[in-house]
Structure 1
Amino acid sequence: MALDANLSGKDGDMIRMESTVTLDRESVDGKDYDPYQHRHVAHPTSTLGAFFHLLKSSLGSGLLAMPAAFKHTGLIPGFVGTMLVAIIATHCVHILVKTSRDVCKECRVGSLSYTDTCVKVFKHGPKRLRTYTEFVRHFVDYAMAGVCLGGTSVYVIFIASSLKNIGDYFYPENIFPVELYCGVLLVPLVLLTQIRHLKFLVPFSIFANLCLLVTFVVTCYYTFQDIPNVANVKLFNSAREWPLFLSTAIFAMEGINVVMPVENEMANPRHFLGCPGLLNITMVLVAILYAVVGLFGYLKYGDEVLGSITLNLPEDEPLALAAKILVALAVFFTYFLQMYAPMDIMWSRLKERFSARFHNEGQIVMRTLSVTVTVVLAAAVPDLELLIGLVGAAFFSTLGLFIPLIVQTVHKWDRGLGKYSYILWENILLLAFYMLVLVSGCYSSITAIVARFTSTQR
């Protein structure tokens, strides 16, 4: 690292020279630098608020899709697989946040976004990889955009399917397609997506969590009534259908696109990792909820379970109807939290193309177009269960598994991969798991989508 120095010449003039003094190793590594003391957040989020954001990012339509996921594996592989996916997802979040913190110390910055963490790892990593820095920036941004568009499109389908289920019951003489309900959602989604500060989304997140909690209780009430004998469901299903379970579970539990914004805007970011730590507490709760809903939901409805278990609830009972309305509201408000990080990243790339006078108008246009794209995609593939599998396999696995593993490996390459290079071997094993999810999950989902629409056209 070079330092600029000003030295006086014999004639009294100031001569500007560039010093070649190199800082000591400890200073270069940033060990004496505390990023938390250099964070300047205009609207910091409390630890409780961060907990609600993390919980909401992992609890949404995916939670209620878990019984359908269990249908593809059977009870025992479904339960074990849920715990496995939760452990892997939590581990990948840990290594991403830990790597980001280490890079912040080395680069002497207060915080870094998901994309900037990846970019700086390659920029300051092994020399032969530095030429890929810009490629990494674009790849991560595209992966984030894919998660945003795919994930929120699933949310649109989920809300529209719930509204259609309710509408068809009250107005059986007017049966409208789910695509029409997707279009109706466009205006309210566009309006509320204009909220630009994470702190102001906390009330929506709390309300969504409350709605989801009530829905969960009501769903359990119906699910635990007259549970059929275990003999009526499959303990093990064909392994050929397991990829759809894995991709659905990853979609359901991965909220990694929200992690860095939440951690960066916490008033007390030291509470995020550690033992027990905010992340660990949240993910333990998430894993338990997913296992319970998946296990007993599949026990109750068997192979007849739909893409969301709430769609299996009775249509003629007020309590069940209330649950369907509340879950639609919960997912509706979750939509904005999931859109926050991608919108922030996109605007950071686009704002330089707008005059400062038109920054507000530019943000409005960008957010409006982004929401419109998600609604169009939802209407184009209005099958909740299959789209969840495809989006989970292609996008959520890439953003939540592949990128954190690569980034950690590159960052540790010259700094030490641990005893016997255990970090490298561990990441190779997890990358093999990622490839299994990506290839088999996409193949199974696309094959099922083609078969479904081919039979519909006939």
Structure 2
Amino acid sequence: MAKESLKLEPLGKKYNEEAGPGSPALAGDEFYDPHLHRNAPAPTTNTETMIHLLKGSLGTGILAMPYAFKNSGLINGFVFTIIIGFICTYCLHVLVNAQYVLCKRIKVPMLTYPESMKLALETGPPCLRPFAKYSPYLVDVFLVLYQLGICCVYVLFVAKNLKDVCDELTGSDLSLNIYMLILLIPFILINSIRNLKLLAPFSILANIITFASFGVVLYYIFEDLPPISNVPTFSTLYKFPLFFGTTLFALEAVGVVIAVENNMKTPKSFGGYCGVLNMSMVVIVLLYVGLGFLGYWRYGENSADSITLNFPKEDIPAKAVKLLYSLAIFISYGLQGYVPVQIMWDTYIVKHLENSSHQLLWEYVLRIIAVIISFVLAATIPLLALFIALFGSFCLSALGIAFPAIMEICVNYSDKLSGLNLTKNVALIIFGLVGLLAGSYSCLSEIIIELSKGS
């Protein structure tokens, strides 16, 4: 393999030399286990990993599920949320397994998503190999856009709910941008936490707040349920891509999944039928289906961007749940913001600062800039539901569905690519591309319509 290939050959050589004579790493691919050679500075336990996965997925997306069902209909929403959840989980397994095989081949402990994509394409079908050198940049662009999109959605969610409560309490009607400005410094501080181990206690607190808030959410849902026959079971085909984008955004946390799997103390526990990933995703999908179904049944066509915005503004429990869930989302910002900063810093910036004595200072500058970008984006287009659907459709259709399928084709190309495997992965690629194009088109059309109304 050429040295320009992300320096993978020297990297493998380095670890083999460190292993020493007689090491399993030198005895052949079948004896090298990448998991045994990982050296994460602050590895997380299985429980901490599951907490991060739950918190990474149980964000603003779950509160937008009634709005998602509004774009699909009650029965469509129920069925397709489960289907999308299954596809997301399966594709995450495909991605993690492909990365493991590639690490085993070149004898390195771990590879990033962009490195894995490049190496896979280099060893895949000849028609795909010319794209290998460009693939890391493409993957990084999608990852950074997606994670900054999540951060933008979190800023909008916290600001909108805070405005809802404060305007009711004070009788004022301050601009949403004023509340964003108030929140800027706290968000910068939470994004300044530099490793996942330190974020784990905050994630535990956020999970406790989230599950406690669900009690109040269910109280308002069941308070006055209308006849279920009043709720549309199906919606129009034009609106379905909005449902797809929102649900994909809510369920798929590919950036967090890769980060936490690479940082696990026992990464072998991540996969498998009863592994950390499956257990987490079963809980997540059940919660999403349940809240989407019940929330849309309760509020129907009046379902707001976030179900909390449907609650009576004057009620104390409604104010409490808005503030508590906003606190949970604020805490989660640190986990979501960790990923784009890590990508930009480790891949593109730190190599230019090797001789600098101010590396830590520049890393904090990058963290501050990332927060400011998410705030500027939120202030420019303050459309919470459409932002959720847009980033879900555009980024996750590629990152979470199409790219893992391409990687599996390439990884199995040399010896294990059966006709069934190829057909399955081609179907996933087509599904991802259709979701990307149709979802992005619908979201951008709706954003243009809403912005034109505002002007």
Which residue of the partner structure matches residue 283 of structure 1? Answer: 281
Shift of 1:27: 6.9
Task: Say whether the 8 Å CA contact 1:66–1:290 is kept in structure 2.
Answer: yes
Alignment partners' CA distance in 1, 2:145 and 2:168: 34
Which residue of the partner structure matches residue 370 of structure 1? Answer: 370
Which residue of the partner structure matches residue 87 of structure 1? Answer: 86
1:207-222 equivalent positions in 2, closer than 5 A: 207-222=205-220
Q: For 1:273, give the aligned amino acid.
A: G
Which residue of the partner structure matches residue 18 of structure 1? Answer: none
Within the alignment, does 1:144 sit opposite 2:143 as a pair?
A: yes
Task: Say whether the 8 Å CA contact 2:101–2:411 is kept in structure 1.
Answer: no
User: What is the root-mean-square deviation of aligned Cα atoms in Å?
Assistant: 1.7
Task: Say whether the 8 Å CA contact 2:206–2:327 is kept in structure 1.
Answer: yes
Query: Alpha-carbon deviations, 1:7-63, whole Å to 9, x = none?
Result: xxxxxxxxxxxxxxxxxxx97971110112111111110100000001111110000
Q: Residue 240 of structure 1: SS of its match in structure 2?
A: coil
**TM-score, length of structure 2 as denominator length:** 0.92
Which residue of the partner structure matches residue 58 of structure 1? Answer: 57
Which residue of the partner structure matches residue 416 of structure 2? Answer: 416
Q: Residue 29 of structure 2: SS of its match in structure 1?
A: coil
Within the alignment, does 1:153 sit opposite 2:152 as a pair?
A: yes
Q: For 2:332, give the aligned amino acid.
A: T
User: Which blocks of at least 5 consecutive residues in structure 1 are unaligned?
Assistant: 2-25
Q: Residue 318 of structure 2: SS of its match in structure 1?
A: helix
Identity %: 37
1:260-299 equivalent positions in 2, closer than 5 A: 260-299=258-297
Alignment partners' CA distance in 2, 1:305 and 1:324: 16
Task: Say whether the 8 Å CA contact 2:59–2:332 is kept in structure 1.
Answer: yes
Task: Say whether the 8 Å CA contact 2:192–2:364 is kept in structure 1.
Answer: yes
Q: 1:383 to 1:31 in 2, by over 3 A?
A: same
Q: For 1:82, give the aligned amino acid.
A: T
Task: Say whether the 8 Å CA contact 2:398–2:433 is kept in structure 1.
Answer: no
Query: Alpha-carbon deviations, 1:224-255, whole Å to 9, x = none?
Result: 12210012210111222111100000000110
Task: Say whether the 8 Å CA contact 1:156–1:374 is kept in structure 2.
Answer: yes
Alignment partners' CA distance in 1, 2:258 and 2:174: 40
Shift of 1:122: 2.5
Which residue of the partner structure matches residue 9 of structure 1? Answer: none
Q: Which moved more, 1:365-374 or 1:59-68?
A: 365-374
Query: Alpha-carbon deviations, 1:127-171, whole Å to 9, x = none?
Result: 554443320111011111110121211111111111111111112
Q: For 1:362, give the aligned amino acid.
A: W
Which residue of the partner structure matches residue 231 of structure 1? Answer: 229
Alignment partners' CA distance in 2, 1:107 and 1:127: 20
Q: Which moved more, 1:185-194 or 1:277-286?
A: 185-194
Q: For 2:143, give the aligned amino acid.
A: M
Which residue of the partner structure matches residue 75 of structure 1? Answer: 74
Alignment partners' CA distance in 1, 2:397 and 2:433: 9
**TM-score, length of structure 1 as denominator length:** 0.91
1:400-411 equivalent positions in 2, closer than 5 A: 400-411=400-411
Which residue of the partner structure matches residue 303 of structure 2? Answer: 305
Task: Say whether the 8 Å CA contact 1:69–1:294 is kept in structure 2.
Answer: yes
Q: For 1:237, give the aligned amino acid.
A: S
Alignment partners' CA distance in 2, 1:350 and 1:130: 27
Moved over 6 A (4+): 26-29
Q: 1:51 to 1:325 in 2, by over 3 A?
A: same
Which residue of the partner structure matches residue 116 of structure 2? Answer: 117
> Which of 344, 347, 354 does residue 345 from structure 2 map onto?
347
Alignment partners' CA distance in 1, 2:358 and 2:116: 29
Which residue of the partner structure matches residue 169 of structure 2? Answer: 170
1:416-435 equivalent positions in 2, closer than 5 A: 416-418=416-418, 421-435=419-433
Alignment partners' CA distance in 1, 2:270 and 2:93: 9
Alignment partners' CA distance in 1, 2:84 and 2:127: 33
Q: Residue 339 of structure 1: SS of its match in structure 2?
A: helix
Q: 1:29 to 1:312 in 2, by over 3 A?
A: farther
Q: 1:226 to 1:185 in 2, by over 3 A?
A: same
